Chain A
């Protein structure tokens, strides 16, 4: 099926259904699926609206108001304040959930996947906070509802629906490192329809943590994002929504390489990125107890990198990448009774890749793959204090083995102030594009890497060219690559021992197998190897996330909130643990003495801090509409690299030392004439100017900023 066919079928279905739905139906009254609740509502955990406290899997919500009063501009700044979430620098600012690298967390925009990852990392700085109503974070696997990538967790950005009436707001923000952000938002809404347009420009001069060497640590860039949201009650029982977004970025950096004569040769590094998404959705109430949601989602992500020698403008490196994603999905929610709710859905995804590294060796054809899936979820409330939620999803893909992913979650409410949650589920991550489709030879180093679907063809071609010395294994005899998968358990709960105090704890264990790694499959005549991808490694992550949230009584006219978060984490490779148990792993001290390392000496996978803590203090002076906010985050030392050949961090210089970063903002709103309002904000990120130049490039020094927001 082609892109066009999917679109035509969907449009036809919506229009056809719309005509049927336009017929007045007797007794069509209140929407039984959505009751009016004043408690925070979330949708990510169950693909349906549900009160946050009644969700059986660990979920966190950040409101737009909280994000604004924090002075946040990009998603990374928001997520870093959440207990248990850490940032992970690898080709962009990624997110680490429950000890997993960024590629294992799914990022959604209104429930649909944001595409465009580099080396597995989806750069959180790409996503603006403006225009969002809330951000929902679900920890633990949700692959039983969302499929691939929802292995460690899901982050869902929910955009605000256009309000009734006319709104216009403008925000200007300027700060250190030439950083500026301007946002213009305009909305108009009636009871049955609403439209909001948003334009955002975000720019920075970049920064340089290593002035001794040529080239910035973070390049200068200019980011534009345009976003449109439309809601329309097309018929009495038909609600249509349309979301669209396009963003582009231009960045300018540079670097120096040592030339043959030992002198530094300077290069310009220019990057260009365009990504877009279009998301029409139609919700149809078939009868009082049934709701059908049909969705089309299209997204594109294109990057272009050019590196040129400064002295003569000669092209040194060029890379183009082009990803298209199209999805059609239908979901039926059936509320059988107050005790039984079933959701069933199915969909089709078509993906197309373009780019230098993915072109077929022989025919220059770009990979295209199709995926079909179906999911089923049933929520059962046997009593007032128990809810059981079971879900499962089946994914079939052209280029890797099909799989079934279940999850079972239980919520207990033994008392009004106590919620207990337990879930066991499976998560999976599809093989990345490079693991399936890469056809790459490093001209400088002489090795080749082939994705699993390209391996046989690549080996055959190298053999025909006489470039192979020895084929180590026959690619024809290999099983298809499997998705990386996990079994995870999350157990925890929330207790409110008194007014204004809530304690949330969650213990987690993720057992991950079939992690994909490269292995040599042939030796080339130049002595280098040809690599393929195989399901090999097993890891586990386990730990505890905890949060204490306190509203100290500060008297009328004031409001205060203190939140303390902590995470203990162990993320370990099973093979390393086995070797440590066998006693064959040693370290070597500067004097040359070799000492045996035991399991207790294992600090885990690189980039994982065993301990991390967050602090949030917020104070509101209500009469003057003033908010002061202080956020802190601390992480214990973590392994960075191996220098002494044992594959793990044990020498002191193999660790990034522990550090703490504090941010503070002061915000005050002033009422202007009629409904108009002005808001002034002063803030500082990284108050104590902490940097780790060689290790944490995303940690620039202290940054001041000031912002002004006007809304009519």
Chain B
């Protein structure tokens, strides 16, 4: 008998909220167009073709893949080795973000002619509904905590999203040689053309295998992002 009253209250509350929600959607005020989460799958980031038997260095083109978030397409692939083509594309402001191995660059600062800036938030992707007003840096502007030593921190290579395991977007597990994106980390950026976006890496391996498979071909990014084309910092999705 005791549980009947709360159930009734719950029912009333539920019905009421449904009615309110119905009223909202039929309201006369025009809603801004909801943003979509867009997915980029298996974007190659300078994949290796083996290792140099002498030096042990991975054999690759050592080139970036440049990606345009607005168009949702690769501008220049790391497999493109023609110097003239590369020169033409890399100095453009069409691309926003570049990938080479675990290094991510943005079209600005020391990386490109654009004004792209970025920062890494320790906030889940879904919870970032508004891009922060400040805190952004361009590549080359910041210092990265690459090495914590007894002699104090030693700066790593200066990228907006720091390189190195546990410094930026990924964690390297020496036990199984897995590079895994850190959950709860969201890259927020202002693109080369001044629009805000949030982005999270889902996989570093071809085919986004689950469970993550360190033996799958690596240096293939799968990531998702939300881009606000109107210049505002609102990143609410539908």
* A-to-B contact residues, CB < 8 Å: 260, 441-447, 472-474, 477-479, 519-521, 523, 526-528, 534-536, 584-588, 590, 592-596, 606, 641-647, 651, 653
Q: Which residues of A contact B176 (CB under 8 A)?
A: 641
Asked whether B183 is an interface residue with its Cβ less than 8 Å from the other chain, the reply is: yes
Asked whether any CB of chain A lies closer than 8 Å to the CB of B26, the reply is no
Cβ B211 vs Cβ A592 within 8 A: no
- CB of B99 closer than 8 Å to a CB of A: no
Smallest CB separation, B218 vs chain A (Å): 13
Report how far A27 CA is from B40 CA in the complex, Å. 93
CA gap between A217 and B28 in the complex, in Å? 70
Which B residues lie at the A interface, using CB under 8 A?
A: 50-53, 55-58, 101, 122, 124-127, 146-151, 154, 156-157, 164, 166, 170-171, 173, 175-176, 178, 180-185, 202, 210-212, 224
Given A535-B150, A590-B210, 4 more contacts at CB 8 Å?
A: A473-B147, A534-B150, A641-B176, A646-B183
- Are A443 and B184 in contact (CB-based, < 8 A)? no
Supposing A592-B202, A651-B211 touch, asked if A445 and B150 sit within 8 A by C-beta, the answer is: no
Task: Point out the residues of chain A lying under 8 angstroms from B51, CB to CB.
Answer: 444-446
Central interface residue in B122, B125, B147, B183, by most chain A CB within 10 Å: B183
Give A606 to B176 CA distance when docked, in angstroms. Answer: 13
User: Quick check: A526 and B55 within 8 Å, CB to CB?
Assistant: yes
Q: Are B211 and A596 in contact (CB under 8 A)?
A: no
- Residue contact A472 to B56, C-beta cutoff 8 Å: no
Residues of A within 8 A of B224 (CB): 592
A446-B56, A645-B171 are contacts. A584–B184 as well, Cβ < 8 Å?
Answer: yes
Are A587 and B183 in contact (CB-based, < 8 A)?
A: yes
Contact residues in B for A642 (Cβ distance below 8 Å):
171, 173, 175, 178, 180
- Bound state CA distance, A523 and B144, in angstroms? 14
Asked whether, in the complex, the Cβ of B57 is within 8 Å of the Cβ of A527, the reply is: yes
B212 and A643 contact, CB distance less than 8 A: yes
Query: Assuming the A-B contacts A592-B202, A593-B126, are A644 and B150 also in contact, with contact meaning beta carbons closer than 8 angstroms in the complex?
Result: no
Judging by beta carbons under 8 Å apart, are B56 and A586 in contact?
no
A252, chain B: closest CB distance, angstroms? 26
Q: Is the CB of B149 within 8 A of A260?
A: no
Which listed residue, B149, B150, B182, touches A645 by the CB 8 Å rule?
A: B182
Write the nearest CB–CB distance from A605 to chain B, whole angstroms. 12
Q: How far, in Å, is B87 (CB) from chain A's closest CB?
A: 23
Residue from A442, A519, A523, A653 within 8 A of B149 (CB atoms): A519
Q: With a CB–CB cut-off of 8 A, which chain B residues contact A645? A: 170-171, 180-183
Instruction: Give chain B nearest CB distance to A248 CB in angstroms.
Output: 31
Among A446, A479, A595, A651, contact of B57 (Cβ-Cβ < 8 Å): A446
Shortest distance from the beta carbon of A399 to any chain B beta carbon, whole Å: 17
A535→B146 CA distance, assembly (Å) = 17
- A445 → B minimal CB distance (Å): 6
Q: A446-B56, A593-B126 are contacts. A644–B184 as well, Cβ < 8 Å? A: no
Q: In the complex, what residues of A have CB within 8 A of residue B183's CB? A: 586-588, 594, 644-646
Task: Tell whether, in the assembled complex, residue B171 and residue A647 are in contact, meaning their CB atoms are under 8 Å apart.
Answer: yes
Contacts of B101 in A (CB 8 A): 527
> Within 8 Å CB of B53, what residues of A?
443
Establish whether residues B171 and A442, one from each chain, have CB atoms under 8 Å apart when the complex forms.
Answer: no
Chain A proximity of B53: nearest CB distance (Å):
7
In the bound complex, CA of A645 to CA of B180 (Å): 4
Q: Quick check: A446 and B180 within 8 Å, CB to CB? A: no
Q: For residue A526, which residues in chain B have a CB less than 8 angstroms away from its CB?
A: 52, 55-58
For residue B49, which residue of chain A has the nearest CB? Answer: A260
Closest B residue to A518 by CB, please name it.
Answer: B174
With a cutoff of 8 Å between Cβ atoms, the chain B residues found around residue A584 in the complex are 122, 184
How far in angstroms is the closest Cβ of chain A from B90?
20
Identify 21 residue pairs between A and B in the complex whose beta-carbon atoms are under 8 Å apart, listed by A's number.
A446-B56, A472-B146, A472-B154, A473-B149, A479-B150, A521-B149, A523-B157, A526-B57, A526-B58, A527-B57, A535-B150, A586-B185, A588-B183, A588-B184, A596-B184, A606-B175, A642-B178, A645-B171, A645-B183, A646-B182, A647-B173
The CB with the most chain A CB atoms within 10 A, among B50, B101, B125, is that of B125
A443 to B54, CA, bound (A): 7
B57 / chain A contacts, CB cutoff of 8 Å: 446, 526-528
Q: Cβ of A528 and Cβ of B182 under 8 Å apart?
A: no
B221 to chain A, nearest CB (A): 14
Please indicate the chain A residues that have their CB under 8 angstroms from the CB of B173 in the complex.
641-642, 647
Known: A519-B149, A596-B184, A645-B181. A446 touches B125 (CB 8 A): no
A641: B residues at CB distance < 8 A = 173, 175-176
Q: How many Å lie between the Cα of A473 and that of B173 in the bound state?
A: 24
Which residue of chain B is the closest to A443 with respect to CB atoms? B56
A645 to B148, CA, bound (A): 20
- The reply to whether A478 and B180 contact each other, CB–CB distance below 8 Å, is no
| Minimum C-beta distance from B99 to chain A (A) | 15
In angstroms, Cα B146 to Cα A337, docked, is 61
Q: Are B150 and A478 in contact (CB under 8 A)?
A: yes
Q: Which of A446, A479, A536, A653 sits near B55, CB closer than 8 Å? A: A446
Contact across chains for B171 and A473 when beta carbons are under 8 A apart: no
Q: In the bound complex, do residue A520 and residue B182 qualify as a contact, i.e. CB atoms below 8 Å apart?
A: no
Tell whether, in the assembled complex, residue B126 and residue A594 are in contact, meaning their CB atoms are under 8 Å apart: yes
Residues of the A chain whose Cβ atoms lie less than 8 Å from the Cβ of B150: 478-479, 534-535
Residues in B neighbouring A653, C-beta threshold 8 A: 211
Interface centre among A260, A478, A479, A523, by most B CB within 10 Å? Answer: A523
Contact with B166, one of A477, A592, A647 (Cβ below 8 angstroms): A647
Among A260, A441, A477, A592, chain B packs the most CB atoms within 10 A around the CB of A592
B184: A residues at CB distance < 8 A:
584-586, 588, 594, 596, 646
Q: Is the CB of A594 within 8 A of B147?
A: no
Taking a contact as CB atoms closer than 8 A, the residue among B50, B166, B210 that contacts A260 in the complex is: B50
Q: Which chain B positions have C-beta within 8 A of A477?
A: 151
Assess whether A521 is in contact with B147, with CB atoms less than 8 Å apart.
Answer: yes
Contacts of B164 in A (CB 8 A): 520
Task: From known contacts A473-B151, A535-B150, infer whether A444 and B56 are also in contact, taking CB-CB under 8 Å.
Answer: yes
List, in ascending order, chain B residues with CB within 8 A of A443's CB: 53, 56
- Smallest Cβ distance from A588 to chain B, in angstroms? 4
Q: Report the nearest A residue to B212, measured CB to CB.
A: A643
Q: Which A residue's beta carbon lies closest to that of B122?
A: A584
Give the distance in Å from the alpha carbon of A584 to the alpha carbon of B171 in the complex.
14
* Chain B residue with the shortest CB-CB distance to A471: B154
Complex interface: chain B residues within 8 A of A647 (CB) = 166, 171, 173
Q: How far is the CA of A473 from the CA of B147 in the complex (A)?
A: 9
With a cutoff of 8 Å between Cβ atoms, the chain B residues found around residue A593 in the complex are 124, 126
**Chain B positions within 8 Å of A479 at CB level:** 150
Q: Which residue of B lies closest to A448 (CB)?
A: B56
Instruction: Give the residue name and chain of the B residue nearest to A441 (CB).
Output: B56
| CA A598 to CA B52, docked complex, whole Å | 44
